[in-house]
Amino acid sequence: MKKSLIYILLLVGILLLALTVPACAEGQKVTFWTLPDPEPAAFWTDSAKDFMAVNPGIQVDVRAIAEAPTSEAVLLTAIAGGTAPTAAGGIFNGFAAQLAEAGAIVPLDSLPGWDELIKNRSMKEAIKAWQFPDGHFYILPIYSNPMLFSWRTDVLKELGVDTPRTYSQVSEVAAKFMEKYPDNFLMAYKRLGSTSWYYRWYDFFPLYEAASDGQPFLMGNEITADDKAAIEVFKFFADLSAAGYLLPRDVPDAFPTKFSIWRPCGPWELPRWAESFPEMEYGESFVVAPPPIPTLGSLASIQHPKTFADAKGYVLLAQGSKEDREAAWEFLKWVLSKPENDLKWAEMTGMLPVRDDLSTNTLFKEFFKQHPELIAYAESIPYAIPALMHSRYADIYLAIGEEGFLPIINGEKTPEQAWQDVKDAIGRIFAE
């Protein structure tokens, strides 16, 4: 049985369980499950103490969610057992779609103060990508990791070229690089050769979002993707692979050692590089840039290409009392309406909060002065599209890899046939 079906079966008893949970009689006690990492847990624990100091009638119990076997499985087990928290974090869109279908979470835009919170947190643009097909918002986004691409600018300078912006420019750089260094590769990245469902977050989807200018891939059970853009992305990777520019295999520290000069790069890579390769200085040795786009054409006027975002947020569970949910909502609003708390979040966790104004708000000026490598990520947040909003997300991503991306990398299908096979496979998933 597919994992997504197991999830749904675990949720069958939710509504009956919700009806049996009594309201809290003596004040409100909010159980707040946060990300399993110690830094986010510390941030929310501090925030809860500050909140309770001015809201003595609400007790907020912060706990880091367990990851055995996964945080999603732990939350589903708690829901099925009637022990779900009031609010839970570390939720991405696909998992939230499963929860929403089962009636396990509440639409946040139906709660008082939603519009005010979006305004106060400067999320007018960024929040658009979090709207579900039914028109509601079920996740309050906390952080966003736009997927950008790192380039070895010291090597580009050696080759006499600028940082590529288009597919043709990438191909030209690859040819020059491998002519000079025939034993190296433009990109050495093992995820290019794997069908693991979430690996498409790092190759296909960043370039698809850029090529389609954010055209939604799905709307409910309808494939609404930009066919031309998807085929362009497949063709781009097919051409690079056929020319021998890609190595879909693990080469330790290929980018820091200049074995390769281009790769997907989330902000979590940068601290490790800074510690292990201090000679690789940001702005001198390398930069991060948005995904490349098809050779100009209708995209020529776009100032900032869209990309994929590894982004997560918080949900309110339907299980439990209305009063406890209202208390948890007050806590979330209180914390996230204050920009200084977003600054504290960034300083404590190294993850960027979902705000449109990160790169322009003077409150964050000193932070980015100390972390200039994160400026490009901050500028990309309003243009970063989170994961698919569908309960069968894992099966859909697998279909894209197995029917499209991997055959393209291996030279087994034309881009047109690969894309048609992907759509046919997704259609079968919807028909099950």
- Give one DSSP letter per residue of 204-258, joined into a string: HHHHHHHHHTS--SEETTEE---HHHHHHHHHHHHHHHHTT-EE-S--TTTTTTT
**How confident is the model at residue 402, as a pLDDT?**
97
CATH homologous superfamily, domain 148-307+390-431: Periplasmic binding protein-like II (3.40.190.10)
User: Would you state the structure tokens that stand for residue 357, as one six-digit string?
Assistant: 């104004």
Pick from 194, 171, 184, 204: nearest CA to 251: 184
pLDDT in tens, 21-41: 334 434 789 999 998 889 999
Tell me which fold the domain 3-146+309-385 belongs to: D-Maltodextrin-Binding Protein; domain 2 (3.40.190)
User: Taking 90 as the threshold, does the pLDDT of residue 2 lie above it?
Assistant: no
Separation CA 319–CA 249 (nearest Å): 45
Q: Residue-wise over 342-363: b if at least 16 C-beta within 10 A, else e?
A: bbbbbeebebbbbbbbbbebee
Q: Tell me how far CA of residue 182 lies from CA of 179, 185, 193, 244, 245, in angstroms.
A: 6, 8, 21, 10, 10
Omega before 415 within 30 of 0, i.e. cis: no
pLDDT at residue 61 in the model = 96
**Whether 384 contacts 354, CB under 8 Å:** no
User: What average pLDDT is seen over the chain?
Assistant: 91
Element (H, E) at 272: helix 269-276
What burial class does residue 432 get, using C-beta atoms within 10 Å of its C-beta: 0-12 exposed, 13-18 middle, 19+ buried? exposed
Contact 62, 45 (CB under 8 A): yes
Query: In which band, very low, low, confident or very high, does the pLDDT at 69 lie, cut at 50, 70 and 90?
Result: confident
* C-alpha Rg value of the chain to the nearest Å: 22
Q: Check residue 1 and give its pLDDT.
A: 40
**Residue predicted with more confidence, 20 or 105:** 105
What residues contact 205, with CB distance under 8 A and at least 6 apart?
Answer: 147, 217, 308, 385
Provide the 8-state DSSP code for 301. Answer: T
Distances (CA, A) of 112 to 100, 245, 330: 20, 53, 9
Q: In the prediction, which pLDDT does 62 show?
A: 96
Average pLDDT for residues 9-14, to the nearest whole number? Answer: 44
Mean pLDDT, rounded, for 130-150:
95
Q: Where are the domains of the chain?
A: 3-146+309-385, 148-307+390-431
End-to-end Cα spacing for the chain = 12
Query: 164 Cβ partners below 8 Å, 6+ apart?
Result: 151, 170, 172, 173, 292
- Average pLDDT for 197-220: 95
34 vs 28: CA distance, rounded Å: 19
Query: What is the tens place of the pLDDT at every residue in 72-118?
Result: 999 999 999 999 999 999 999 999 999 999 999 999 999 999 999 99
Of the listed ranges 11-25, 58-72, 111-125, the least confidently predicted one is 11-25
d(Cα 336, Cα 321) in Å, to the nearest integer? 23
Same CATH fold, 148-307+390-431 and 3-146+309-385? yes
Q: DSSP readout, 52-101?
A: HHH-TTEEEEEEEPP-SS-HHHHHHHHHHTT---SEEEEE-HHHHHHHHH
Split at pLDDT 50, 70, 90, the class of 68 is: confident
- Give the list of residues 6+ apart from residue 154 with CB closer than 8 angstroms, or none: 284, 285, 286
Size of the chain in residues: 432
- For 323, which DSSP code? H
Distance CA 266, CA 376 (A): 11
Model pLDDT for residues 357-416, shown as the tens digit of each residue:
998 999 999 999 999 999 999 999 989 999 999 999 999 999 999 999 999 999 999 999
The mean pLDDT value for 337-343 works out to: 96
